[in-house]
Structure 1
Amino acid sequence: METLQQSEKIIAEKYRIIGKLGQGGVGITYAAVDLNSNQKVALKALSLRLTTEWKKVELFEREAKTLSGLNHPGIPRYIDYFQVDTDQDRCFYIAQQLAPGKSLAQLIENGWKPNEAQVRHIACQLLEILVYLQSLLPATIHRDIKPQNIILQKNGRVFLVDFGAVQNTYHHTVTGGSTVVGTYGYMAPEQFRGKAVLSTDLYGLGTTLLFLLTQKFPSDLPRQKQKIKFRARVSISPEFADWLEKIIEPAIEARFHSAKDALSALRGEQQSGINPEKMFKRSPQSRITLIDAQRWLFIKIYPDRFPSKIKGFFQFIHLSYKVLLPFSLILVFFVSLGYICHMSSSTVGLFKYTVADWLGKLFDPFFSISILAIIIFTVFYALMWLCRFLCRIASRLFIRPIKITPQDIQRVKLSGIHLPLLKKSMTFCRIRTKSRNYCFGLFLPQAEKEWLVGELNDCLSKLK
């Protein structure tokens, strides 16, 4: 797009052009002065004559509408939207607060090499802006986060600019819009399909941070299965590298779900890729605990406390005890009360009964059954809890977790074995390392064996 306006030209009798700030996919942005307030503004212009795509006009109008509803210190304040008609053309303009400073792209071009602390600080500020955008109703997705659209002031404060590619989740996320908008290298894979979700902006943020750390365009970095392999080209902490890996995951479901989650993880407020320990996904009913602690891999497989039949018997005892104990106590109480009333009304008198007379009452069927029920169920209940306690002690003493250095793992697979006593074949998990083999999980459900082997192989692929 050619330059629309020259310096010193007056627009709408209100704004005087100072110079050109930049040019994007939708419109050209100029630095201008508001003649009424004498304040500098950013004036974005779109010429109808020079525009061959009506989609750009739609995006320009959408940007103006979006900016008019935003109120965040990290987003330049919206001032005005208007159009100017001439005999040859119609131009649309958006006036905004001028964000002082330089774009990240300009700073890198000028030789700036930020360290990890500076990159983290920029990431936190941008995530706070994205948290605000995603909290709106509907949530707003920028779709074009890149170094050219992030302005850094001398005091370290950042601005997010150029909302020309913005969309809201009501119009496109559900219906799966078909317009591909963004910048190659910084676009999330789903944007090539015309799709955008909350985590789409996170991918753009992650690739922007990689540009700051590596001084290279994301498209120039090596990839494996669409995933950028950057660890060998940066000098950052393992925690921050893990966080970056998660934010630039090609698969939507593997990324942070939202900017709020990513910000909490970066600040260390929740378990995530930057936490020293991260729990792998598993079924809530699973007996497996799989923990990646960066240098070590921990696998804990807890056995069932009891076989299913014994567990069912204990459950029956537990329920019977809770139901029959109160009934037995009530029966004993009323039988005893009846005896006392009968004795007190007799001619012999209550205190004339001998010990033998009282012991004889124990042979009364109702009284005896009640006492016997209390004793039997109390004993069984105590035995049940004793067995549980012993099983817990045994699992602590004799069950040892497998502890492996991920770099030592050579192969993980399922292997078969024939069990003559059970007269059937089963599979188990096998981990081959440089020094020995680990075989485990024989009596796990087949689905859990396959899940565990898959997770371990995923862990290995990330290290390669």
Structure 2
Amino acid sequence: MPHINTAAIASGLPGASTSKMTLPVFAKKVKKLASLQLLSFKLLLNGRGFSKFKKNYKLKGEIGQGGFGIVYSAIRVSDDTPVAVKFIERRYVRDWGKLNDERVPMEICMLARCAKINGVIKLLDWYSMPEGFLIVMERPSPCIDMFDFIRRQSKLPENLARYLFRQVVQTTLDCMEKKVLHRDLKDENVVIDLITGETRLIDFGAATILKKTRYYDFQGLSG
């Protein structure tokens, strides 16, 4: 495996020198905002299907947002394993499938199909509630998405780029073997484990069943 310069990545963290706001003040504001967002999320779900989830996992804070949901960091209570939890509001689910005879978002179905693929983020658990769905996935630590990984390097050595790209291509082929089409391949949807150098394909919110006929539904941003 090519060497990954984690020190160089860390030194590229934003907010170090150019901003007028000092890093501690900026971090405090971000932390306060994240806490308010997490509180709002807990209040939305509290007492309405959230109790079962709370017995098994403890929410920590928001990781990021996408077009299909909000992702939070969490800890599995039984063994302190770090996990990622994605919340999808039921009203925003466009594509549905069936898993164990239950109607669920297609994203859950596609993740379940790819459960044995090393290059796909692992589905650990999921919960259905009146408001929506909670999808519990593995969270490699430490890790970084490929977009930030590339941005924080002066340049990417060819052997390292080849090593990472080969993994993404192989994962895509493995998904196709399972009849899964991701439909949103980009550097922001690939995370890199900074210990092993292994990549994981994430965010299957746009994924659908691979078919031989043409696709007529639009997927992506218009304009």
Provide the TM-score with structure 1 as the length reference. 0.34
Q: Conserved in 1, the CA contact under 8 Å of 2:180 and 2:207?
A: yes
> Partners in 2 of 1:37 and 1:8 — Cα distance?
24
| Counterpart for residue 349 of structure 1 | none
- SS of the residue corresponding to residue 21 of structure 1 reads strand
Amino acid at match of 2:112: S
Contact 1:7 1:17 in 2 (8 A): no
In the TM superposition, residue 159 of structure 1 has moved relative to its aligned partner by: 0.9
Measured after TM superposition, the shift of residue 166 of structure 1 is 0.7
Residue 69 (structure 1) aligned with residue 113 (structure 2) = yes
Indicate how the Cα distance of structure 1 residues 183 and 31 shifts in structure 2: closer, same or farther if over 3 A, else same. Answer: farther
Measure the CA separation in 2 of the matches of 1:75 and 1:134.
12
- The residue aligned with 2:148 is 106
Does residue 162 of the first structure (1) align with residue 203 of the second (2)?
yes
TM-superposed deviation, 1:113: 2.3
- Match of 1:378? none
Amino acid at match of 1:157: E
Is 2:222 the partner of 1:181? Answer: no
Q: 2:166 aligns with which of 115, 124, 127?
A: 124
CA distance in 2, matches of 1:4, 1:63: 24
| Aligned 8 A contact 1:6 1:17 in 2 | no
Q: Secondary structure at the match of 1:119?
A: helix
Matched position secondary structure for 2:125: strand
Poorly superposed stretches of 4+, deviation over 6 Å: none
Determine if contact 1:141/1:168 at 8 Å carries over to the other structure. Answer: yes
Structure whose alpha-carbon radius of gyration is higher? 1
Residue 81 (str. 1) matches residue 122 (str. 2): no
* Identity over aligned pairs, percent: 22
Q: CA deviation at 1:72?
A: 1.5
Q: Quote the Cα distance in structure 2 between the aligned partners of 1:112 and 1:40.
A: 30
Question: Where do 1:336-347 residues align within 5 Å?
Answer: none
| Corresponding residue number in structure 1 for 2:11 | none
- TM norm structure 2: 0.67
For 2:62 and 2:73, locate their aligned partners in 1 and report how far apart those are by CA, in whole Å.
6
In structure 2, do the counterparts of structure 1 residues 54 and 62 end up closer, same or farther at CA, with 3 Å as the change threshold? closer
What's the counterpart of residue 189 of structure 2? 149
Work out which of the residue numbers 12, 24, 38 in structure 2 matches 1:5.
38
1:80 to partner: Cα distance: 1.3
Q: Determine if contact 2:176/2:210 at 8 Å carries over to the other structure.
A: no
Higher relative contact order, structure no. (Cα contacts within 8 Å, ≥ 6 residues apart): 2
1:44 is displaced (CA, Å) by 0.5
Q: Secondary structure at the match of 1:5?
A: helix
Q: What is the letter of the counterpart of residue 181 of structure 1?
A: Q
Note the C-alpha offset of 1:8: 11
Partner SS for 2:86: strand
Q: Does 1:21 align with 2:71?
A: no
Letter paired with 1:67: L
Q: Aligned partners of 1:112, 1:7: CA distance in 2, in Å? A: 39
Please, which runs of 5 or more residues in structure 2 have no aligned partner?
A: 1-33, 98-103
Q: Secondary structure at the match of 1:82?
A: strand
**C-alpha separation in 2, matches of 1:112 and 1:69:** 38
Contact 1:4 1:47 survives alignment (8 Å): no
Unaligned runs of 5+ in 1: 185-191, 193-464
* Contact 2:117–2:175 (8 Å) recurs in 1: no
Root-mean-square deviation (CA, aligned residues, Å) is 2.9
Q: C-alpha offsets along residues 196-250 of structure 1, whole Å, 9 cap, x if unaligned?
A: xxxxxxxxxxxxxxxxxxxxxxxxxxxxxxxxxxxxxxxxxxxxxxxxxxxxxxx
